[in-house]
């Protein structure tokens, strides 16, 4: 087992089959946290021996998601660290060499059984309600015959010859003592007839050669671990410490999948979730912080994280909670940082900001002023435009907006006229002054202030939801505010 004074080496070993999944991101993050906590190294190993097409695309998407999250690696396919290559597709010779060493030592043997015949055997057994176990037909093959088969070019796989009736035990950090008797396993294939290794063989060989001290991965691999331990034992390698992370379930208690909504980090990025919020939330999936608290800075997570505190109870992925964590993170964004995002969004989503003359300069100033108004209101960054469009775009009034005040028994025209007259006399167009004067006006007219402001809101925003109005008016400026109030007044008049 990895001893405590040894430098920690952990790995994240994805098979690039597409985007980075929430579950894999949590595995990567827990490895990263553990490495950062212990001053160890995180290795990014690419398990790509089986990959057909689209490998590079998947790899790019995976690594860019990791980078976006801020999960950095110390060694990997793009950062040589003395234990490479880090792509399994470039290590085929290594696996073949170890497999043949095992054959030479009598710990593995070539198997000439065709996949078709094995399939038939498997189906027959399953029909009888039994589980398939390789019958060791080729183990009893005369060595001379085996050698002849090989030299004739007959395809063969390599199987590990398991010791009989031996108990394989290990202590998983999370799941505790686990034992499996080799009688319940079969001589599994380590090298396929196409020369490529199976996952259990290549993972164990690489973990050993890359001097991995702690294997931290999903619970779905728990049943593979005894097989990998057998590979370690047969090759005479020291075992790492194994830590399996509990499953992540969807809200209905089933394994998290696309059925439950987005499961890729890319999708959450597009939905305007902050990377810090994702990491913060992922940390809570399977790990219980020492105190009742949910919002953690990444540094705090590094400080508090203890691998022993991971629990085995499956975690439930709760999108509402992620949104809540995200809104907390948005609230703590610096004004400048949010303003920068607003500038980018406006440039991307609005053709020509109509309300802005000197628009580049104006946009920066406006965004700085707008950021504090929406920071507490948005749960994801992608809600931003819903709140701020009318700062940059013309407003138009829907039938609904036009009819809004019919029901409310408010004389909208009266409110608008009074406000226009009042605005005209205002010397200093700031939110404080605006508020005082509007309150005064409402009192004079004996209109409830909520109703009074509702008229102004629809006039300025075209809807009855907007950022705080006095500040909004200040940012729009006197001219544009006046223009919109008159425009709404005219529209109402033309209707009656």
**Catalytic site residue 227?**
no
The terminus-to-terminus CA distance of the chain in angstroms comes to 84
Helices (H) and strands (E) counted in the chain, each on its own, are: 19, 12
Name which position in 37, 161, 221, 260 contacts ligand GLU (CB under 6 A). Answer: 221
Q: Which residues pair with 316 in a beta bridge?
A: 249
Name which position in 157, 203, 208, 371 contacts ligand GLU (CB under 6 A). Answer: 203
Determine the distance from the C-alpha atom of residue 118 to the mean position of all C-alpha atoms in its chain, rounded to a whole number: 40
| Burial of 362: CB neighbours in 10 Å, binned 0-12, 13-18, 19+ | middle
> According to the binding rule CB under 6 A, does residue 217 interact with ligand GLU?
yes
> According to the binding rule CB under 6 A, does residue 286 interact with ligand GLU?
no
Total of residues contacting ligand GLU (CB under 6 A): 7
Q: Which is nearer to ligand GLU, 185 or 273 (CB)?
A: 185
Q: Which is nearer to ligand GLU, 216 or 442 (CB)?
A: 216
Closest CB 222 distance from ligand GLU, rounded Å = 11
| DSSP per-residue codes, 160-186 | E-PPTT-EEEEEETTTEEEEEEGGGS-
> According to the binding rule CB under 6 A, does residue 265 interact with ligand GLU?
no
Chain length of the chain = 496
Closest CB 176 distance from ligand GLU, rounded Å = 20
> According to the binding rule CB under 6 A, does residue 110 interact with ligand GLU?
no
Task: Please state, in angstroms and rounded to a whole number, the distance separating the CA atoms of residues 272 and 106.
Answer: 57
Closest CB 382 distance from ligand GLU, rounded Å = 29
> DSSP class of residue 87?
B
> According to the binding rule CB under 6 A, does residue 89 interact with ligand GLU?
no
- Residue recorded with tokens 């999948």: 257
Q: Which is nearer to ligand GLU, 133 or 221 (CB)?
A: 221
Which residues, numbered 310-329, are part of the site for ligand GLU (CB under 6 A)?
none
| Burial of 90: CB neighbours in 10 Å, binned 0-12, 13-18, 19+ | middle
> According to the binding rule CB under 6 A, does residue 14 interact with ligand GLU?
yes
Name which position in 10, 28, 47, 345 contacts ligand GLU (CB under 6 A). Answer: 47
- Residue recorded with tokens 């994805």: 14
> Near ligand GLU by CB under 6 A, which window of 11-19, 299-307, 335-343, 385-393?
11-19
> According to the binding rule CB under 6 A, does residue 13 interact with ligand GLU?
yes
Cis peptide before 141 (omega within 30 of 0): no
> According to the binding rule CB under 6 A, does residue 15 interact with ligand GLU?
yes
Options 258, 321, 349, 408, the catalytic residue: 258
Closest CB 337 distance from ligand GLU, rounded Å = 34
> According to the binding rule CB under 6 A, does residue 51 interact with ligand GLU?
no
Task: Please state, in angstroms and rounded to a whole number, the distance separating the CA atoms of residues 354 and 30.
Answer: 48
C-beta of residue 379 within 8 angstroms of C-beta of residue 330: yes
* Binding footprint of ligand GLU on the chain (CB under 6 A): 13-15, 47, 203, 217, 221
Q: Catalytic site residues?
A: 258
């Amino acid at each position: 087992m990895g001893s405590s004074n040894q430098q920690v080496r952990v790995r994240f070993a994805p098979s690039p089959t597409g985007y980075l999944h929430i579950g894999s991101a949590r595995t990567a993050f827990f490895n990263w946290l553990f490495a950062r906590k212990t001053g160890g190294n995180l290795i990014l190993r690419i398990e790509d021996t089986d990959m057909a097409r689209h490998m590079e695309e998947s790899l790019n998407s995976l690594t860019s998601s990791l980078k976006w999250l801020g999960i950095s690696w110390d060694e990997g396919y793009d950062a040589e660290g003395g234990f490479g290559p880090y792509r399994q597709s470039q290590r085929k010779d290594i696996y073949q060499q170890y497999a043949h060493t095992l054959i030479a030592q009598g710990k593995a043997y070539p198997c000439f059984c065709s996949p078709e015949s094995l399939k038939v055997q498997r189906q027959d057994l399953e029909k009888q309600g039994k589980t398939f176990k390789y019958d060791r037909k080729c183990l009893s093959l005369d060595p001379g015959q085996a050698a002849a088969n090989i030299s004739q070019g007959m395809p063969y796989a390599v199987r590990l010859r398991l010791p009989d009736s031996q108990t394989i035990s290990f202590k998983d950090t999370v799941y505790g003592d686990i034992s499996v008797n080799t009688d319940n396993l079969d001589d599994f294939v380590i090298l396929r007839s196409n020369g490529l290794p199976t996952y259990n063989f290549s993972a164990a060989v690489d973990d050993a050669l890359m001097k991995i001290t702690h294997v931290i991965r999903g619970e779905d691999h728990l049943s593979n671990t005894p097989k990998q331990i057998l590979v370690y034992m047969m090759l005479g390698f020291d075992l790492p410490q194994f830590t399996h992370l509990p499953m992540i379930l969807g809200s209905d208690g089933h394994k998290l999948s696309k059925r439950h909504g987005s499961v890729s980090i890319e999708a959450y990025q597009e939905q305007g979730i902050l990377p810090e919020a994702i990491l913060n939330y992922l940390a809570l999936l399977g790990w219980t912080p020492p105190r009742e608290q949910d919002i953690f800075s990444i540094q705090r997570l590094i400080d508090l994280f203890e691998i022993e505190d991971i629990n085995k109870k499956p975690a439930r992925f709760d999108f509402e909670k992620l949104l809540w964590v995200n809104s907390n993170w948005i609230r703590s964004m610096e004004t400048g940082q949010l303003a920068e995002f607003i500038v980018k969004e406006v440039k991307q989503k609005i053709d020509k900001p109509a309300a802005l003359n000197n628009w580049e300069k104006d946009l920066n100033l406006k965004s700085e002023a707008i950021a504090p108004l929406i920071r507490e209101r948005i749960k994801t960054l992608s809600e931003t435009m819903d709140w701020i469009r009318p700062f940059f775009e013309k407003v138009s009034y829907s039938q609904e907006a036009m009819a809004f005040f019919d029901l409310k028994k408010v004389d909208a025209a009266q409110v608008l006229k009074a406000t226009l007259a009042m605005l005209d006399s205002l010397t200093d167009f700031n939110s404080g002054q605006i508020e005082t004067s509007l309150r005064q006006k409402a009192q004079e007219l004996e209109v409830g202030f909520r109703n009074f402001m509702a008229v102004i809101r629809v006039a300025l925003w075209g809807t009855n939801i907007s950022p705080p109005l006095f500040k909004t008016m200040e940012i729009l400026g006197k001219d544009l505010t006046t223009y919109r109030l008159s425009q709404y007044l005219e529209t109402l008049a033309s209707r009656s």
